[in-house]
Amino acid sequence: MYRLANAIFLGLIAIASLAEAQLELAKNYVCTEDFCDNYRESNECDALKTACRAQNATHNGIIFPSATPCSCCKTCVENLQPGDDCSVGGLGYPVPAGICGPGLYCKVAEGDEHPTCQPMLESSKCYTAQKEFDDQRQAGLIGHLMQRPECDGDGNFQPVRCIPGQTCYCVDDNGKRIFGEAVHTASIQISMRCECSRLAAKARTLLNSQYPVLTSRCDSKGSFDQLQCVDDMCVCVDMHSGRPTSDLRNVTRGLSSLPCCKC
Ligand SMILES: *[C@@H]1O[C@H](CO)[C@@H](O)[C@H](O)[C@H]1NC(C)=O
Ligand SMILES: *[C@@H]1O[C@H](CO)[C@@H](O)[C@H](O)[C@H]1NC(C)=O
């Protein structure tokens, strides 16, 4: 009995000193002004691009904390002008070098032409939200994980928003977050379009229901689950349009006759 108590006591001491060691470690990595001063002394930050230094009518940009320890350095994302080449969602690039400036959106061209910045319909909800975001950022009220709303040409909210290097999630027509999420990867915006979760969100709003509304089953990314069933009857559907790709089958004898069944 005595020995057991002793063992427990020693165990507790070990845990306590481990916790203390971790606290010590954490203290060494606290992001203070001093830390950044020292950091910048030994690792020179890249100079801000001309656009962010000028901030005049033709050369302007947004200053972000950069991916340095404690965000001690700053980086400049240039505001692109109408007609400039742009990148849709910055696929594969955590921080794009430039984004379409205020009132512009990145329009995907027909064929294999490069997308360019084009004026978007003003007075739309998304445009207003974007302007509000820019004003708040100017005033320093925006945390660095908050995302600027992305709009299409008609000023509607794009269905997928991504925090670079982290996650992408679905938003509804009003820019509010809805079901559907995935890890941000280079190709995610090709496979993730949130049609299913947008449809489900719309149905819930229209019916103004507190209860689950019977709609198609969505997968975790907000796309249509390729296998849709009501009672015994199942059908395969396209993950983006939700349209049937097989005939309706009675599945009481098993699902294996369905082409989309991974069984
Ligand atoms: C804005 O700043 C850039 C870079 O300093 C300069 O070349 C350009 O002439 C300026 N434009 C205006 C309209 O002041
Ligand atoms: C499906 O098949 C089972 C057995 O063959 C039958 O009992 C059931 O009524 C069928 N369901 C429908 C919806 O036709």
Report the number of distinct structural domains present in the chain: 4
User: Atom 5 (ligand 2): residue with closest C-alpha?
Assistant: 252
Total Cβ atoms within 10 A of residue 2: 6
Over residues 143-198, the pLDDT tens digits come to 766 778 888 878 889 899 887 778 889 999 888 999 999 998 877 877 889 999 99
Q: How far apart are CA 167 and CA 177, in angstroms?
A: 13
18 within a domain of the structure (yes/no): no
Residue 90 belongs to some domain of the structure: yes
Residues 217 and 249 in one domain: no
Measured from the Cα of 56, ligand 1's closest atom is 1
Is the CB of 232 within 6 Å of ligand 2? yes
- 163 shares its domain with 176: yes
Give the pLDDT score at 204: 79
Whether 176 maps to a domain, the answer reads: yes
CA 159/CA 261 separation, integer angstroms: 28
How many residues comprise the chain? 263
pLDDT tens, residue by residue, 100-150: 888 888 887 777 678 889 888 777 888 888 888 888 887 888 776 677 888
In terms of domains, do 218 and 172 share one?
A: yes
Take atom 14 of ligand 1 and give the residue whose Cα is closest: 56
* Angle (CA) 158 164 167, round 5°: 75
Q: Do 112 and 126 sit in the same domain of this protein?
A: no
**Which ligand neighbours the alpha carbon of 253 most closely?**
2
Q: Which residues' Cβ are closer than 6 Å to ligand 1?
A: 50, 54, 56-59
Predicted confidence (pLDDT) per residue in 222-258, tens digit: 999 999 988 888 999 999 888 999 999 998 888 888 8
* Same domain for 164 and 126: no
Query: What are 177's strand-pairing partners?
Result: 171
Q: Is residue 16 assigned to a domain?
A: no
Site to probe by mutation for ligand 1, drawn from 48, 49, 52, 56 as the one with most ligand atoms within 8 Å of Cβ, is: 56
Residue 78 covered by a domain: yes
Task: Please check whether residues 183 and 207 belong to one and the same domain.
Answer: yes
Long-range contacts, 75-78 (Cβ 8 Å, 24+): 75/46, 75/48, 76/48, 76/49, 76/51, 76/52, 78/49, 78/51, 78/52
- Domain of 76? 39-119
Residue 29 is assigned to a structural domain of this protein: no
Pair 68, 109 in one domain: yes
Q: What is the pTM of this model?
A: 0.57
Greatest CA separation found in the chain? Answer: 81
Residues in contact with 116: Cβ distance below 8 Å, sequence separation at least 6, in sequence order: 83, 84, 85, 86, 106, 107, 109
1, part of any domain: no
Q: Are residues 98 and 61 in the same domain?
A: yes
Phi, psi of 171 (to 5 degrees): -125, 155
Q: Are residues 187 and 199 in the same domain?
A: yes
136 & 197 share domain = no
Residues 186 and 249 in one domain: no
Within a domain: 257: yes
The CATH number of the domain holding residue 74 is 2.10.80
Angstrom CA distances, 16 to 2, 21, 29, stand at: 21, 9, 20
Sign of CA dihedral 220, 221, 222, 223: negative
Cβ neighbors of 234 (< 8 A, separation 6 or more) are 227, 228, 248, 249, 251, 255, 258
Which element (helix H / strand E) includes 174? none
Asked whether 82 and 118 are in contact (CB, 8 A), the reply is yes
- At 18-47, the pLDDT tens digits run 444 444 444 455 778 888 888 889 988 888
Ligand 2 pocket test, pick from 250, 255, 257 with the greatest ligand atom count within 8 Å of Cβ, gives 250
Spatial neighbors of 221 by CB under 8 A, at least 6 apart, are: 180, 181, 182, 191, 192, 194
Helix, strand, coil share of the chain (percent; to 5):
30, 20, 50
| Same domain flag for 115 and 75 | yes
The residue contributing the CA closest to ligand 2 atom 14 is 250
Ligand 1 centre from 57 Cα, in Å?
8
